[in-house]
Each structure stands twice: as structure tokens, then as C-alpha cells.
Amino acid sequence: MQLLKDSFRKILSFYKKRKCDNDVLDYVLTICRGYMSQWPPSEDKMAKIFETIDEYLFDGLLTTTLVYLDMNIEFTTSLSRKHIAGQTTFGFGDSVITFGLNGKLFETLFTSNNNQYIVGGKQCRDINTCFLEIFAHEICHVFIYLYRSVYGIKKWEERSHGRMFSLLCRQVFRQIETKHGLIPGFSSFADLAVIRDIARECEKNDIDMEYFDNGEWLTVKVYNVRRVYASVSGDAGKFDVPISFLRPI
């Protein structure tokens, strides 16, 4: 176990001092694109992408840790929450990490003419690039889950997108933000707080907003704006939506 701790410390120390070389990152992502000739990528292909990123960018540490701790990763391109692009879940002490990307959401996004989105502050104009950038975001979560397991950290003091997560996104994958806006027009807003403030103003002044749902924008009334979600009403009734899927008309 001490060897694993030393390896995690070494990787983090390396990336604290320098970013991943652009040529190396491009080479790795090119290999990964080779596993995406069919859409959506199969679970086996997702595993290959994971192994490739781990081998070249983390010295195989993630796979080594999984084997040592007798843990598995379950890959899927189907998520029950249809508006979530990617989701990685793990409970401390569990033996399985669930690693999911939402294949249907990506298909919906890239069937429209507006197929340019922002992931981690980087533009992605095609479905495979977008998929891989979200994949990179999720693999940062895996790194942290395994780090916690190796160090026996039951209570994690950082937010899910805290300092270590930001360092990995920025230094390893050159993503300058920990957010991704996979809706048309999202990149016009600086961050979630801006959209939240607009939603509160619209609620206060009874002004309609638009909500992105399955490839189209729906007109809704906004009420009960919270930190991440807001309640809205429209032709489809009343329901809760992520604030990041709202925009002013």
C-alpha cells in the first residue's frame, strides 16, 4: 500500500510542476479516437480508452490500484438522468466504480446544426472530441476515488470539483475549467452563478426563460431558484431542471 501512496504522491507532484505536453496529450487522444469507429463506443472500447489514458498519462497507476484493491469499473453509455453528460459514482469501501457517459445525449447534441460546445473551457465541434473531453473529466473523479481508497480517507473535505480535481483537469488534460456546457448558447455565460442570477431576476419579474430539452428550447416560467436546480412550469407541467439548462429569451 505504501508503494501506491508513493506513486500517487509522485504523479501529483509531477503535475503540480508542469502541464502534460501538448504533443503527448494529442497522441493519447488520437489513439483513443481509434477506439471510437462505432457509436456509441462499447463497454470494451471505453475500457480501452481508460487503459490508454491511464498508461500514458498516469503511468498505469489507476489500473494497478484497481487490481491491488480488487476493485472494478463498470462502464456504460446509458445514464438514467438524461441531461447528465457523464457521471462517476463510488461509495467509500465499495468495490465497484460506476463510470457512465450518456450516449443518447451526445447523439441529441450533434444532430442539430449548432454542434459546437464548451467542455472544460475548450471547444469541441464533433461528437468524438466532446465524448473524450467528458471522459477525461470523469477519469479525474476516478483518480480521486482511488486516491481516497489508498489513503483511507473516509471523509473528503474538498468539493467534488475541488483543488485536486481542478489540478488534474488543468494540468493533465489542459481543461481550464471544471465545467462543461453541452447546450447551445451556454458558452455565452461566464459560469453557473450568472445563469442563476438571471433566473432569479426572471422569477422576480415574471419573465419567461427557455429550457433545453432533448435538442429543443422550451418556454418556461421559473420559480424557486436554488443553487443548482430550479423549478419551472410549461406546457409539459411543473418539474425541476438544472439551472445550467436555462437561458433568457
- Residue range 71-107, pLDDT digits in tens: 999 999 988 766 678 889 988 778 899 999 988 888 8
Q: What is the value of pTM for the model shown?
A: 0.76
Half-sphere exposure of 43 (CA within 13 A, CB side): 9
Mean of pLDDT values over 2-11? 96
Specify the CATH number of the domain 189-248. Answer: 2.30.30
For residue 243, is pLDDT > 70?
Answer: yes
For residue range 161-195, list pLDDT tens digits in order: 889 999 999 999 999 877 766 655 554 444 667 78
Residue boundaries of the structural domains of the chain: 2-181, 189-248
Residue 21 has pLDDT above 90, yes or no: yes
Rounded Cα gap, residues 130 and 123, in angstroms: 8
Helices of type H across 34-86: 43-57, 61-68
In degrees, rounded to 5, the angle at the alpha carbon of residue 63 between the alpha carbons of residues 17 and 156 is: 65
Residue positions counted in the chain: 249
